[in-house]
């Protein structure tokens, strides 16, 4: 059981589609993250939101657009993706300014771009 839930778990989309990934955390945290996990590559940090403000954007292409309407919800809007964007997208959350700042992950959304 996880305190971070992601929907959908699986998504297949065409290169011209627009879709969104949703994440909700039930842990009372104030920071949320999107990571990308591709085969044979380290997990890549995409975006970080702290207190609902984006504090990190790691040179992610504009076809990925994050949205954080409140501290419990995080979206990743997807638009005109490429096949190489197929990956597992992991949402995570943490409580800032606490020792250790453990990051808790959801189970991920598997994205296939066709």
What sign does the CA torsion over 45, 48, 54, 55 have? negative
Min dist CB 104 to other proteins, Å, is 7
Single residue of 50, 66, 74, 81 touching other proteins by CB under 8 A: 50
Q: Does 107 bind other proteins (CB under 8 A)?
A: yes
Q: Measured in whole angstroms, how far is the alpha carbon of residue 113 from the centre of its chain?
A: 16
Angle among Cα 67, 65, 84 to the nearest 5 degrees reads 140
- Do residues 39 and 85 make contact, with C-beta atoms less than 8 angstroms apart? no
Judged by CB under 8 A, the stretch of 13-21, 67-75, 79-87, 106-114 that binds other proteins is 106-114
Q: Which residue ranges make up the site for other proteins (CB under 8 A)?
A: 2, 4, 6, 31, 33, 40-43, 45, 48-51, 55-56, 90, 92, 94, 96, 99-108
């Amino acid at each position: 059981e996880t305190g971070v839930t992601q929907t959908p778990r699986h998504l297949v989309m065409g290169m011209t589609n627009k879709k969104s990934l949703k994440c909700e955390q039930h842990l009372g945290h104030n920071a949320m993250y999107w990571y990308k996990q591709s085969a044979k590559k380290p997990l890549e940090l995409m975006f970080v939101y702290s207190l609902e403000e984006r504090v990190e954007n790691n040179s992610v292409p504009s076809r990925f657009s994050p949205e954080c309407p409140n501290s419990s919800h995080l979206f990743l809007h997807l638009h005109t993706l490429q096949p190489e964007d197929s990956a597992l997208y992991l949402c995570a959350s943490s409580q800032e300014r606490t020792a250790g700042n453990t990051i808790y992950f959801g189970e991920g959304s598997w994205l296939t771009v066709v």
